[in-house]
Amino acid sequence: MAKSFNYRKYYKDYYGIDFDSNYVIHHIDFDRSNNDINNLILLPSKLHSRYHFLLTGFNSDKNNKGIASLDFKIVSECGSIPMFGINMMKNLCETMAEIDKWVRIKSDMDRAKYNKEVYGI
């Protein structure tokens, strides 16, 4: 049996940072076997849980977890979106805005790592 890849340690070592169990490493493409650093992002545990919870409200195909496949199952048969669906979309948008902050943090860490490796600064 192959040893599982410790992507938490990999992320910590790659960026030279430390974080506790209040944070998780999210696989951006939802493929836990894709541990390329560009596919990993650090998120607070509560934000990560909320994100996955909200996605399940939109995605009826449990085998395909990608956001691109959202089918908006919350849309009623007559084609209108019930208030529950509008609130779900609003919450998902707010959650995505919070995740964007963490994307920018990762981008800053990538830039700092590059500058250190290439320019020594």
Who contacts 26 (Cβ-Cβ below 8 Å, separation ≥6)?
40, 41, 42, 43, 48, 51
Q: What angle separates helix 83-119 from helix 45-58, to the nearest 10 degrees?
A: 130
> Quick one: tokens of 81?
């979106």
Structure confidence at residue 73 (pLDDT): 46
Rg from Cα positions in the chain: 17
Name the stretches of the chain with pLDDT < 70: 1-3, 58-84
In a domain, 9, yes or no: no
DSSP 3: P
Q: What is the pLDDT of residue 70?
A: 44
Assess if residue 72 is contained within a domain. Answer: yes
pTM for the model stands at 0.79
Distance CA 84, CA 1 (A): 45
Q: Which amino acid is at 43?
A: L
On whether residue 23 sits in a domain, the answer given is no
Total number of domains in the chain: 1
Whole-number pLDDT of residue 89: 85
List the domain range (segments joined by +) for residue 62.
47-119
